[in-house]
Homo-oligomer: A and B are copies of this chain.
């Protein structure tokens, strides 16, 4: 099953994606995940009242989760990307976060900072885990029971702000820069998220192309490790890191510019198309 988060007149609503149609469900994505409303997710009506159906192309897509309790990002989790950033392969996962105000939908414009703030804006395709059931002190062997599914994150990064201190957060949470979507494909389809092709294109040119088989720390290990620290909650997002091919690692370096189209794809999930605009 694939689910989306659709902006409607009454607020963001979960939607089931049936081929070219979005079936608007009477709940939010977090309610669906928190209250385990999978019967409703699979239905076409409730008490005889048919759910609204809209064309998939016409849906106004919100970030896959509107206001997640946590957005955890994993850095340095593909060996070739670690090398291009000039760092050593980590012995433990590298976690940082971003705030929900950074998120945008799969077709929204990316708000580039004004040029006097930064011009060093970079792309980072990432497989993102969506937590389905609370997870605390779970073992890796049980971790997938807590995963609802997977979506796509482009962890768009303002590189000079990311590296002006020893902590990444400043460059990772600029307002309205992080596309999250277009859908969540459920874990019964994608399993542990391995073996999926991931890709970034800028104005039609492929910049990143890898597979999730290259993850240093896999989905089950990340969920288990994070659950040692804190309770993961339904709707929490874990962006699992990006492969090589980022703009900062190129010679000469390349950045997203006003008007550029960023296309972010993961096999089995879909494609996001975001236009860059100086805010």
Contacts and interface: CB of A to CB of B under 8 A. Distances in A.
Given A164-B92, A165-B92, A166-B87, A69 B230 contact: no
A101 interface: yes
A52 to B, nearest CB: 30
Contact of A95 (B75, B113, B169): B169
B230 A95 contact: no
Given A69-B100, A99-B70, A101-B69, A229 B94 contact: no
Given A101-B69, A166-B166, A167-B75, A175 B229 contact: yes
B164 A95 contact: no
A107 to B, nearest CB: 21
B165 A167 contact: no
Main SS class of interface, A: loop
Nearest to A166: B94
B173 A117 contact: no
Contacts of A101: 69-70, 230-231, 233
Given A99-B230, A228-B117, A90 B173 contact: no
A176 to B, nearest CB: 9
Interface string A84-114: 0001001111111101111000000000010
A91 B169 contact: no
A76 B87 CA distance: 22
Contact of A165 (B95, B97, B161, B231): B95
Contacts of A93: 165, 170
Interface in A42-84: 69-70, 72, 75-76
A168 interface: yes
Query: Which of A69, A99, A167 counts the most chain B CB atoms within 10 A?
Result: A167
Contacts of A164: 91-92
Nearest to A168: B167
Nearest to A67: B69
A235 to B, nearest CB: 13
Interface string A205-240: 000000000000000000000001111010000000
Closest 6 interchain pairs by CB?
A: A94-B165, A92-B164, A95-B169, A96-B167, A175-B230, A101-B230
Interface of A: 69-70, 72, 75-76, 87, 90-97, 99-102, 113, 117, 136, 161, 164-170, 173-175, 228-231, 233
Given A94-B167, A170-B229, 11 more contacts: A69-B101, A70-B99, A70-B101, A94-B165, A95-B170, A96-B167, A96-B169, A97-B97, A174-B229, A174-B230, A175-B229
